[in-house]
A and B are shown apart, each in its own frame.
Chain A
Amino acid sequence: IKQGILSPLLVLSGLSDGLSGLSDDSSKEPKFTKCRSPERETFSCHWTDAVHHGSKSLGPIQLFYTRRNIQEWTQEWKECPDYVSAGENSCYFNSSFTSIWIPYCIKLTSNGGTVDEKCFSVDEIVQPDPPIALNWTLLNVSLTGIHADIQVRWEAPPNADIQKGWMVLEYELQYKEVNETKWKMMDPILSTSVPVYSLKVDKEYEVRVRSKQRNSGNYGEFSEVLYVTLPQMNQFTCEEDFYFPWLLIIIFGIFGLTVMLFEGKLEEVNTILAIHDSYKPEFHSDDSWVEFIELDIDEPDEKNEGSDTDRLLSSDHQKSHSNLGVKDGDSGRTSCYEPDILETDFNANDIHEGTSEVAQPQRLKGETDLLCLDQKNQNKSPYHDACPATQQPSVIQAEKNKPQPLPTDGAESTHQAAHIQLSNPSSLANIDFYAQVSDITPAGSVVLSPGQKNKAGMSQCDMHLEMVSLCQENFIMDNAYFCEADAKKCIPVAPHIKVESHIEPSFNQEDIYITTESLTTTAGRPGTTEHIPGSEMPVPDYTSIHIVQSPQGLILNATALPLPDKEFLSSCGYVSTDQLNKIMP
């Protein structure tokens, strides 16, 4: 029964609505327009008057209300206690009739029939009065005299009991220029004063504020508009302008002088720093295959190509072991970096690095870094196991000094290749080949443009390969690297070191490196690798692609590569880019 108390009433109201519509042509039923509580202590409800054009006249309109008491809806509807205080067509509930957390239902009746009904709780209909006593004060004026900040203050509506904490209000301020149409709104605030920034001095503004109970109810009406006319301070402004530029000129002058004085020194610093820092991105952008190699950069003196060449050509390994000192910077090292390897290996390590921008031959300690995965897998185990007896000198791969492959380097490489240096087996772990350094990281790591692989292991076994084919004339190399074997072909120098295809197993390993340039160059191939399809190019030293922090890097999973032939892996064990491109789509 209780459940159905309101639903039939609602149905009735709908019916009566329809009925009256039939009888009169434009009669409108009285409807509730609004219920409002300004201070959460009283409330009032208003309705429209009935408009009747027809002859039928409605009886007096009555309002009944009910509220749920402690336990249940009271079925009795009580009539409105005050039809007068809130004006016509209204019902006013004073504080004794107003309960906050008890819902109300009211209904409008005419001639005994309900015409409208609604339910609510008082908090939902709270709409505070507008704030009062708006005023503003000037905070400051900008130095240019064009803008000004003001502080606007107001008071809460007097009937809202803020002092006792019965109501907590938030306010919204709006302002605009007098001749504008759209108001600018500020975020709601809880305090009764707020700064307004950057008003133009020459304009007049209007400001208004409205309030709302926090968390419930609606915004009340806006307060009266406050007009803000900022004081025009033309004369004052001129004075400011008059003085100000001088100060600015002096300041800038001093600053400029300071800059010029230090400019020279700065350039020095910049050049030093640029090597490490600023060039790095350039290098990266140039090469899609970038590998970080830790280099030992001790003295700038050591870093010139001439010394490298000399070292290449001379049988004495001039490397200063000091140079070999492993740079202990952390950057650039892979996890398997082992400084010890480099130091011992350096003897046989004739790394000639062609650096494009950085004319600093760096010892590629990092080779062990990069290749350590291979190294450790290949050099140490397969190679050492497979070719334990090899006491072959590591062949120094001729290398270009220029970062970019130069066709003319072929001859040069061959020359350089002529200087084969022997190394100890232990040095096989060394990096005997040249990698092209394209960049140097700030920490001293060297970025190799072509990937470099430690061929030490391979070199060990290289000997075992017969270099059958003739030296290929087409040393058209895009990069500076090509197989030892290829170089050797053209070098009538004993001992022949054969580039062994021991690299094959290494190829299956994860981190074999393929230089970018190797992929693009044509590496000469030894005879044994004549089967290499397509590119009769000198095969570079690298077979694996290793992503080293390069967005363009590729991790070439060797196992994923369809290796057409074992011969595909050249005697050097490297796959050129062309070959690679053929392999991979």
Chain B
Amino acid sequence: MNIKGSPWKGSLLLLLVSNLLLCQNVAPLPVCPGGAARCQVTLRDLFDRAVVLSHYIHNLSSEMFSEFDKRYTHGRGFITRTINSCHTSSLPTPEDKEQAQQINQKDFLSLIVSILRSWNEPLYHLVTEVRGMQEAPEAILSKAVEIEEQTKRLLEGMELIVSQVHPETKENEIYPVWSGLPSLQMADEESRLSAYYNLLHCLRRDSHKIDNYLKLLKCRIIHNNNC
């Protein structure tokens, strides 16, 4: 696996900080020695950090969705319009606990990585489009920027975890492609708002899935189903 040490170091530092900020009951994490080509962090710590990140990302997504809804679409029946499914709906993601328990560990990890990869581009465009909005809502924009940033970190972390747990895994770059950019740029305001609503709704849902899946995997792999 080609894992760049430097971005991972930065992400580890970020994870450490976010860990300190968000998790009160997480044991102190070791700091990677500066200059090390590859940080040797235990799998337990990797999972702990990943869970912290995923939790944080989901929080941000929820807040961002709430703020968007409150500001633009509340009470206008948009929820009934979310007929457009999320671009990640094609992935065989477990929808309840039994399904989550049945899926095997390797596939589970690959699934998470695929979801994260598939959100790189939508998040990038989300940030760009919101930034270009007239009177761009700062609260929403800042959260979008943060989510985009943290998702990249989480993806790096997940790739590192996969390399440790399943070193033989061939890197599978297949992930669902998002093609909703035109709808974000539509001239008609209703359609445009609907597209944003859908995107943020899907982001909230997928971030929740990732958070949940990681917590399941952490308990399964690290704590042997005895969290």
CB distance from B28 to the nearest CB of A (A): 16
Q: How far is the CA of A103 from the CA of B95 in the complex (A)?
A: 11
Assuming the A-B contacts A3-B80, A215-B58, are A164 and B85 also in contact, with contact meaning beta carbons closer than 8 angstroms in the complex? no
- Within the complex, which residue of A41, A102, A123, A165 is in contact with B216, where a contact is CB–CB below 8 Å? A165
Q: How far is the CA of A246 from the CA of B82 in the complex (A)?
A: 77
**Interface 1/0s, chain B 88-115, versus A by CB < 8 A?**
0110010111101100000000000000
* In the complex, chain A residues 95-140 whose Cβ is within 8 Å of any chain B Cβ: 95, 98-103, 119, 123
Residues of chain B within 8 A of A68, CB atoms compared: 82-83, 85
Besides A98-B96, A99-B96, A215-B58, 19 new A-B residue pairs in contact (Cβ under 8 A), listed by A number: A5-B80, A41-B96, A68-B82, A100-B95, A101-B205, A103-B79, A119-B80, A162-B227, A163-B219, A163-B226, A163-B227, A164-B97, A164-B225, A165-B219, A166-B97, A166-B216, A168-B215, A191-B25, A214-B55
Closest residue of A by beta carbon distance from B99: A99
Do the beta carbons of A70 and B85 come within 8 Å of each other? yes
Do the beta carbons of B216 and A164 come within 8 Å of each other? yes
Secondary structure dominating the interface of B: helix
Residues of chain B within 8 A of A191, CB atoms compared: 25
Residues of chain A within 8 A of B58, CB atoms compared: 215
Assuming the A-B contacts A7-B80, A165-B220, A166-B216, are A99 and B226 also in contact, with contact meaning beta carbons closer than 8 angstroms in the complex? no
Do the beta carbons of A215 and B97 come within 8 Å of each other? no
Do the beta carbons of B208 and A123 come within 8 Å of each other? yes
Residues of chain A within 8 A of B217, CB atoms compared: 165
CB distance from A195 to the nearest CB of B (A): 14
Do the beta carbons of B227 and A165 come within 8 Å of each other? yes
Do the beta carbons of B25 and A190 come within 8 Å of each other? yes
- Within the complex, which residue of B79, B89, B96 is in contact with A100, where a contact is CB–CB below 8 Å? B96
CB distance from A168 to the nearest CB of B (A): 6
For the complex, is B81 an interface residue (Cβ under 8 Å from A)?
yes
Closest residue of A by beta carbon distance from B62: A215
Do the beta carbons of B100 and A166 come within 8 Å of each other? yes
Number of A-B pairs, beta carbon distance below 8 Å: 77
For the complex, is B2 an interface residue (Cβ under 8 Å from A)?
no
Closest residue of B by beta carbon distance from A214: B55
Of the listed residues A103, A163, A191, the one surrounded by the most CB atoms of chain B closer than 10 A to its CB is A163
* 22 chain-A/chain-B pairs, Cβ below 8 angstroms: A6-B80, A7-B77, A7-B80, A41-B97, A70-B89, A73-B83, A98-B96, A101-B95, A101-B209, A103-B79, A119-B79, A163-B226, A164-B97, A164-B101, A165-B218, A165-B220, A165-B227, A166-B215, A190-B25, A191-B25, A215-B62, A216-B208
Do the beta carbons of B226 and A95 come within 8 Å of each other? no
Do the beta carbons of B55 and A215 come within 8 Å of each other? yes
Do the beta carbons of B96 and A164 come within 8 Å of each other? no
Do the beta carbons of B89 and A163 come within 8 Å of each other? no
Q: How far is the CA of A72 from the CA of B85 in the complex (A)?
A: 7
**Interface 1/0s, chain B 52-92, versus A by CB < 8 A?**
00010011001000000000000001011111010001100
CB distance from B99 to the nearest CB of A (A): 9
* In the complex, chain B residues 199-227 whose Cβ is within 8 Å of any chain A Cβ: 205, 208-209, 212, 215-220, 223, 225-227
Closest residue of A by beta carbon distance from B101: A164
CB distance from A67 to the nearest CB of B (A): 10
Assign chain A's interface to a size class.
20 to 34
Q: Which A residues fall within an 8 A CB radius of B? A: 2-3, 5-7, 40-41, 68, 70-73, 95, 98-103, 119, 123, 161-166, 168, 190-191, 214-216
Q: How far is the CA of A191 from the CA of B95 in the complex (A)?
A: 27
CB distance from B215 to the nearest CB of A (A): 4
CB distance from A44 to the nearest CB of B (A): 16
Residues of chain A within 8 A of B208, CB atoms compared: 101, 123, 216
Q: How far is the CA of A100 from the CA of B215 in the complex (A)?
A: 15
- Within the complex, which residue of A71, A73, A214 is in contact with B89, where a contact is CB–CB below 8 Å? A71
Do the beta carbons of A71 and B85 come within 8 Å of each other? yes
Do the beta carbons of A99 and B95 come within 8 Å of each other? yes
Do the beta carbons of A164 and B220 come within 8 Å of each other? yes
CB distance from B103 to the nearest CB of A (A): 13
Residues of chain B within 8 A of A95, CB atoms compared: 96-98
Q: How far is the CA of A437 from the CA of B101 in the complex (A)?
A: 84
CB distance from B61 to the nearest CB of A (A): 11
**Interface 1/0s, chain B 127-162, versus A by CB < 8 A?**
000000000000000000000000000000000000
Residues of chain A within 8 A of B79, CB atoms compared: 103, 119
Residues of chain B within 8 A of A71, CB atoms compared: 85, 89
CB distance from B76 to the nearest CB of A (A): 12
Residues of chain A within 8 A of B219, CB atoms compared: 163-165
| Shortest beta-carbon contacts, A-B, top 3 | A165-B219, A165-B215, A99-B95
Q: How far is the CA of A68 from the CA of B215 in the complex (A)?
A: 25
Closest residue of A by beta carbon distance from B215: A165
Residues of chain A within 8 A of B97, CB atoms compared: 40-41, 95, 161, 164, 166
Assuming the A-B contacts A165-B215, A166-B216, A168-B215, are A102 and B95 also in contact, with contact meaning beta carbons closer than 8 angstroms in the complex? yes
Residues of chain B within 8 A of A119, CB atoms compared: 79-80
For the complex, is B24 an interface residue (Cβ under 8 Å from A)?
yes
Residues of chain B within 8 A of A216, CB atoms compared: 208
CB distance from A399 to the nearest CB of B (A): 62
Q: How far is the CA of A7 from the CA of B62 in the complex (A)?
A: 26
